[in-house]
Structure 1
Amino acid sequence: MKTLKTIGVSFLVLAPILIVFANDDESSTDPRFDARVSELLASNMLKLSQEIGTTVLQDSDKTEIFSPLCIYSALSTLLMGANGQTFQELMNVLKINNDPYLSQNTWKVHEEFSLMIDDLNRDIPHPGRRRRPVFWTQNHQQNRDENKNQNQSYQQIQIANGIFFQNGYFIRDDYRSAIESVYKSTLQRLDFANKPELSSKYINSWVKEKTQNKIKEIISDPLSSTTKSVIASALYFKAVWERMFLEGLTKPKEFYPYGIGRAPIFVEMMATGGSYPFYDSQEFDCRIIGLPYRKHLTTMYIILPNNSTRQRLRHFQATLTADKIESMISKMEMKTAIILFPKLHITNRIDLKKILNRMGLRSLFNYDQSDLSLISTGIETIPYQESPFIFNRFAETESKHMTNETATVQSVTKRERRSAATFKTINSDFHTDREPLRLKDVVIKKRITKSYLQKKLIGRNRREVENISDQQMSLKRLDLLRTRLSSEHYPNPRLYADELIHQIDLTVNEVGTEGGAATVTTLRRSGPDVFFRAETPFLFLIRHEDTKIPIFYGAVFEPRNE
């Protein structure tokens, strides 16, 4: 049997001058999980999808597909390291400022998003993170769980973040710690200054590997020798239909880009039949049908405006909202249906810099305004020496930094030891050869005197500290650092993004045998409740049903590359 669906996506932000961006605990209750925050983040991602989609279609008349999950993940890594105006603009674009609790506790955004990403690859929902189910799936829960003890995996969703930075360029300890634990990021040193072509080749190879060879090259030209950092996000998705399309029925059929009655094009149209979630939305003048993947882990929703044309779809997209989409999905019911849907193979490359500028994210692209001071304090001037990981202590200036290494690529596996400006040690002549401070030294042995951060974060007993995860500690320390830097004069490292490039390769095809054609033939005779023919421009959304994360979103004007 052939694999039905393979999708690969990568996201990259390029800054030739300075930055380039781009065994579970099965306990009954996960104390980190917050159902309200999880639902809010999923809703925010869908709102971001709508806003990007609307902005893209203002100037485009071609098929535009993108990954909200991939974009949200990359922007979140920037949010974690942003301050000042850049931080506020990212909060607005990601819709976090709309919630009073999250606007004051940004660390929770990253912690909850990390749990959601962890749940993407689960064959059944995590028992300690129970979310509100989709209505139409509740009657089919048994079908989802009947094979849960089998070793077969029906879905793969791999999201990977990579941070590639110039040899000798300093990255804050807590930012690196949080990136590693929350987003499972790869940290690599590259020599952009002396070997830009080899650095570009390495990043392309990394993206190719993470997307299972779907995105073979995202950097077509060598990076500038002045590049200091690359932040990349890559996504790979693969799933099998709950009911496979029937290969024997795939035939060239008409598709009407400008509406029925106008000149058609011929595309390979697939066919299938059975029981599918469907809703005829008279209030929004469209129809929506769901094509579930195996075990209903993920669903492709197809939204087809009535009398659709290119112009009609653009207008429909501009008036559609995330709340309207959720409303339609909540009203879907299972109907017997015959479905005709075109085979898709779409590659798409979007310049997100222009789009995000229109959405209000402007300072990130301006050397004088960009503020990513939680990522780095700037280029170090003192040679770096390897040392073990230690409990991080904030400092306005860092004295131990990374060195320019002879190797072009080297994994970052250890933390640099640094002096502490915020804390004062008991022995004032603190040297690098002294035994490194540990968390228990701070809390129990009192080797560090009281300070701003100590009052805010470490004023608790030993048991309380031990119950806080390293991930949460790093995230909270970053929030405290943001507060401190906002009230003090500090040097801005002037990191900024010059380009944001988002690229996808999307394939949708059928899996099945000739023998399955009898199903559709029988439905034709008996008369289905719904005959759904995607033969005019439409929108589609691929969503993970447990977390409600939108994985892919887009408008299809023609089911082929344009």
Structure 2
Amino acid sequence: MILKTRVITGLLLLALLSACSGVAKNTIVSISYEDRQVAAQLIDKQVIQSENTLGIQLLKELLKSDKTENIIISPYSISSALAMAYNGASSDTAIQMAKALGWSNTTLENLNQANEQQRKLLEHSDEGIELSIANSIWYQEGPKIRPSFLNTGENSYKAEINAEDNLSSSRTMNKINDWVKKKTQNKIDSILSEPLSTDTLSVLINAIYFKGTWKHPFSEDLTEQHPFTLGDGSIQNVQMMQQTHEFPYAESEDWQAIRLPYGDGRMSMLIILPHKQTTIDILTQQLVKDPSPWQKTFDSKNVHINLPRFTAKYENKLKKALQALGMTYAFDPNKADFSQMSTITPLYIDQVLHKTFLEVNEKGTEAAAVTGVLTPTSGAPAPPVDMNVDRPFFFAIEDTQSKAWLFLGTITNHKKSHIIVISGI
């Protein structure tokens, strides 16, 4: 049997939107909101928008087969890992990847620079946010990988380089899974369920871990059971958090949208709730066509919000979805050209693996709770707008300064989510 050499790009991430009992600590010293705003303006906006667009397009493709399932993806993680692979692509493979991923109008040098700037920006979060990003390249030891490819991964993506004497061994599989577990704070145990095949040349991994405390925490005392309409139309009782506060808010005839800030507001959760007469599918089509209504600044409104409290996991292979977007040559052993990564042929991407973890609950640190205290204003506040998130909804975790959507997805099925009971805290 002739074994075909291949490169596997593995993507994994953790989105942990949880409360915690203490202030989240970053391994990198945070910078001021103002200085970070200046740094955010230096990042190529086209690269950020391409990243967001990729996430929305992938969501649309994944919804075709998972209409009633929760979908949670990270456009940032997917884009970062594919950007590392793109540095190894050449000729028509590179041209096609650039077109599918939105990079046709930027140079490879600018793309790498923008990704490096964005990584550094994200790591400089405030004390109410814990956010860490890790990249790694694992490859079969020997003169098969171009040093220039490894140098770009190490310098632009801060990738950990790991040369293995036997990439297909159980020992290497365990080392990769241990790396995953460590970088995701034990929330994702593994990405490989069996040793790599003997024709695997390299594995590229991006991991992102996010843990945010609400700027305005929800009170546990107000959480109570409420019905939630699932994607299939059935109804399930869930633990529903609630609060009334001034939040950035917008609405139309078809949807309501709100931003719930984390920490000092550098990050927020955007929630878009379709009205009862429309659907998540219709909303996603609108997002693909023109996401600008939800990317602009919202006016501040007094809002009473009900939001489900849950934990959810998601796992999928993205090969078919990426092929549907036009990225086909990279997966084809007869057409793929990754000669900037290695002189070995054929060399192609076998699969793109993606894992996510999401937790949403009431908690906030004391500092966040203090920050969230309402400041009295002159005159009586306006009556609150009601936003009852009791049916499938879209969410995005966004960097409010760079406008990047780090995570996005749809929550439609609480039967596949772990509903946390109040007594369990």
Measure how far apart 1:512 and its partner are: 5.6
Summarize deviations over 1:502-530 as a string: whole Å, max 9, x none.
011111111169xx9xx99x9xx977331
Summarize deviations over 1:50-102 as a string: whole Å, max 9, x none.
100111111212111101110000010011111012101110122111x3xx1
Aligned to 1:295: 264
Aligned to 2:86: 79
| Residue pair 2:239, 2:308 contacting (<8 A) in 1 also | yes
Measure how far apart 1:286 and its partner are: 0.9
Q: In terms of Rg, which structure is larger? A: 1
Q: Which amino acid in structure 2 is aligned with residue 49 of structure 1?
A: G
1:533 lines up with 2:388 in the alignment: yes
Q: 1:118 aligns with which of 117, 120, 123?
A: 120
Summarize deviations over 1:217-245 as a string: whole Å, max 9, x none.
11112211222211111111111110011
Aligned to 1:427: none
| Residue pair 1:338, 1:528 contacting (<8 A) in 2 also | no
Q: Which amino acid in structure 2 is aligned with residue 535 of structure 1?
A: D
> What SS class does the counterpart of residue 282 from structure 2 fall into?
helix
Aligned to 2:138: 164
Q: 1:314 aligns with which of 278, 281, 289?
A: 281
Structure (1/2) with the larger strand percentage: 2
Measure how far apart 1:37 and its partner are: 5.7
Q: 2:362 aligns with which of 497, 503, 510?
A: 510
Measure how far apart 1:352 and its partner are: 0.4
Measure how far apart 1:196 and its partner are: 1.7
1:248 lines up with 2:221 in the alignment: yes
1:20 lines up with 2:14 in the alignment: no
1:235 lines up with 2:226 in the alignment: no
The CA distance in 2 between the partners of 1:189 and 1:559, in whole Å, is: 42
Measure how far apart 1:17 and its partner are: 4.6
Gaps of 5+ in 2: 11-27, 418-425
> What SS class does the counterpart of residue 60 from structure 2 fall into?
helix
The CA distance in 2 between the partners of 1:265 and 1:359, in whole Å, is: 35
1:57 lines up with 2:63 in the alignment: yes
RMSD: 2.9
> What SS class does the counterpart of residue 217 from structure 1 fall into?
coil
**Cα 1:270/1:169, change in 2 over 3 Å:** farther
Q: Which amino acid in structure 2 is aligned with residue 43 of structure 1?
A: Q
Aligned to 1:362: 328
Aligned length: 383
Q: 2:338 aligns with which of 355, 363, 372?
A: 372
| Residue pair 2:214, 2:364 contacting (<8 A) in 1 also | no
| Residue pair 2:214, 2:261 contacting (<8 A) in 1 also | yes
Gaps of 5+ in 1: 1-14, 125-152, 379-492
Measure how far apart 1:123 and its partner are: 3.9
Q: 1:257 aligns with which of 230, 238, 246?
A: 230
Summarize deviations over 1:29-61 as a string: whole Å, max 9, x none.
99xx89476211111111111100111111212
Measure how far apart 1:248 and its partner are: 1.2
**Cα 1:308/1:347, change in 2 over 3 Å:** farther
| Residue pair 2:230, 2:414 contacting (<8 A) in 1 also | no
Aligned to 2:16: none
> What SS class does the counterpart of residue 373 from structure 1 fall into?
coil
The CA distance in 1 between the partners of 2:192 and 2:400, in whole Å, is: 33
**Cα 1:51/1:547, change in 2 over 3 Å:** same
Q: Which amino acid in structure 1 is aligned with residue 165 of structure 2?
A: D
| Residue pair 2:244, 2:384 contacting (<8 A) in 1 also | no
Q: Which amino acid in structure 2 is aligned with residue 363 of structure 1?
A: Y
Aligned to 1:416: none
Q: 2:186 aligns with which of 213, 216, 225?
A: 213
Summarize deviations over 1:203-226 as a string: whole Å, max 9, x none.
101111111111111111221122
1:276 lines up with 2:247 in the alignment: yes
The CA distance in 1 between the partners of 2:155 and 2:267, in whole Å, is: 26
Aligned to 1:383: none
> What SS class does the counterpart of residue 249 from structure 2 fall into?
strand
Measure how far apart 1:561 and its partner are: 2.0
Q: Which amino acid in structure 2 is aligned with residue 343 of structure 1?
A: R
The CA distance in 2 between the partners of 1:216 and 1:528, in whole Å, is: 47
The CA distance in 2 between the partners of 1:164 and 1:221, in whole Å, is: 16
> What SS class does the counterpart of residue 228 from structure 1 fall into?
strand
> What SS class does the counterpart of residue 320 from structure 1 fall into?
helix
Farther off after superposition, 52-61 or 222-231: 222-231
> What SS class does the counterpart of residue 321 from structure 1 fall into?
helix
Summarize deviations over 1:358-408 as a string: whole Å, max 9, x none.
111111111111111111223xxxxxxxxxxxxxxxxxxxxxxxxxxxxxx
Q: How does 1:152-191 map to 2 (within 5 A)?
A: 153-191=127-165
| Residue pair 1:337, 1:532 contacting (<8 A) in 2 also | yes
